[in-house]
Chain A
Amino acid sequence: MNWTLNLLLLMFLLTTAAVAISLRDLLAAAIVFSAYSLMMAILWTQLRAPDLALTEAAVGAGVTTVLFVITIFKTTRRED
């Protein structure tokens, strides 16, 4: 069923968003945020916006995560 899949995706989206905010380990938060972007990309395809899904997967889950990880390695990993 399509709406159950969407409901699951939305619940997972909200969970990853909440976890990404609350985590103190910034590296883990960056990875969870990339999972959030992946869920968002699947939801864009569910909303029939493949262009946005491609952008979200490439920029949100790919490039942004790499930039976050590089920044974390250059600075500190723990949030005080």
Chain B
Amino acid sequence: MRRVAVIGVLLIIGAMLFYAIGKMPPMNSRNTPDKTHVVPRYLEKGEEEGGARNIITGVILNYRGYDTMGEVTVIFSALCAVVALLDREKRGLSRSGPDASGVRSSIIVRTVVRFAFPVILFFAVAYMMLHGEASPGGGFQGGAILGASVIVFTLAFGLPESTRRMPLKVRTPLESTAMIGFLSMGFIGIAYGVNFLTYLLPGVHGTIAQTIRNLMITVIELGIGIGGGIIFISIVFAMMREDKFELRPDIPQP
């Protein structure tokens, strides 16, 4: 009886969804509002209003700047929740890999990571964050790749090696750079009497205005990238933390 009721409800919801899909304009139609109003507006005025050469960056950092700030707050809150539940990793106790077996990874993995790690890091910082204004990518993507590269390093070389190179003292102040960078750059516009997150300030013209705009966007992108990346790293470190650790004497350590 209950199963019949569930299937009936699902069928009704499915019929409603398919009916709604049938009413939608066909894909690639030129007459929908987004094609007649939104896209031309972004293409014509995106650089002027959004302040970035890549329109997607302009949308992310200006048209929906509050949304992006909310996303930055969300990952910061995630880190706060993880730290509140699991506590930070402690020096001297965090000695093991994810499986707590105390066995080092194979030489193939370590060599590949040793060669790939700087390349991934360079890609994340130089292309994604610093060049993200004019090309695909941006602060958040760069931060995710930055975090992933350090996580790969941690998986290959173990948590003690990573925490030695990236100690808590260095990470803690960097975790808030995303929000601090975003808010400080956003309030520059308010200080000038215009909207939050305005890059082309009134009363400033010519190349100086372009330079100021590029500087502000670079600060925001670097802030989101480094802050987001460090937050990812700190979450993984807190989750990998081991309270008890024993070397396995029966397994030879290379």
Chain A residues engaging chain B, CB cutoff 8 angstroms? 50-51, 54-55, 58-59, 62-63, 66-67, 69-71, 73-74
Bound Cα distance A59, B137 (Å): 13
Q: Cβ of A70 and Cβ of B140 under 8 Å apart?
A: no
With a CB–CB cut-off of 8 A, which chain A residues contact B136? 50-51, 54
- Please tell me if the beta carbons of A62 and B137 are within 8 angstroms of each other in the complex: no
CB atoms of A51 and B144 under 8 A apart: no
The reply to whether B147 and A63 form a contact with Cβ atoms under 8 Å apart is yes
Neighbouring B residues of A62 by C-beta, 8 Å: 144-145, 148, 151
B141 within 8 A of A: yes
Besides A54-B141, A55-B140, A66-B155, 16 new A-B residue pairs in contact (Cβ under 8 A), listed by A number: A51-B56, A51-B136, A51-B141, A54-B128, A54-B144, A54-B145, A58-B145, A58-B148, A62-B151, A63-B232, A63-B236, A66-B236, A70-B98, A70-B236, A71-B239, A73-B99
- Given A54-B128, A63-B148, A73 contacting B137 (CB threshold 8 A): no
- SS class of chain A's interface: helix, strand, loop or mixed? helix
> Which B residues form the contact surface with A (CB < 8 A)?
56, 98-100, 128, 136-138, 140-141, 144-145, 147-148, 151, 155, 232, 235-236, 239-240
User: Who on chain A is nearest to B145 by CB?
Assistant: A58
Q: How many A-B residue pairs have CB under 8 A?
A: 48
Cβ contact within 8 Å between A51 and B148: no
Q: Which residues of A contact B128 (CB under 8 A)?
A: 54
Please name the residue on chain A nearest to B97 by beta carbon.
A73
CB contacts (< 8 Å) of B155 on chain A: these are: 66
Say yes or no: B235 contacts A67, CB within 8 Å.
yes
CA distance A66 to B232 in the complex (A): 11
Chain A neighbourhood of B99, CB < 8 A: 73
CA distance A69 to B240 in the complex (A): 10
Measured CB to CB, the nearest residue on chain A to B242 is: A74
In the complex formed, the residue of A with least CB distance to B59 is A51
In the complex, what distance in Å separates the CA atom of A16 from the CA atom of B155? 25
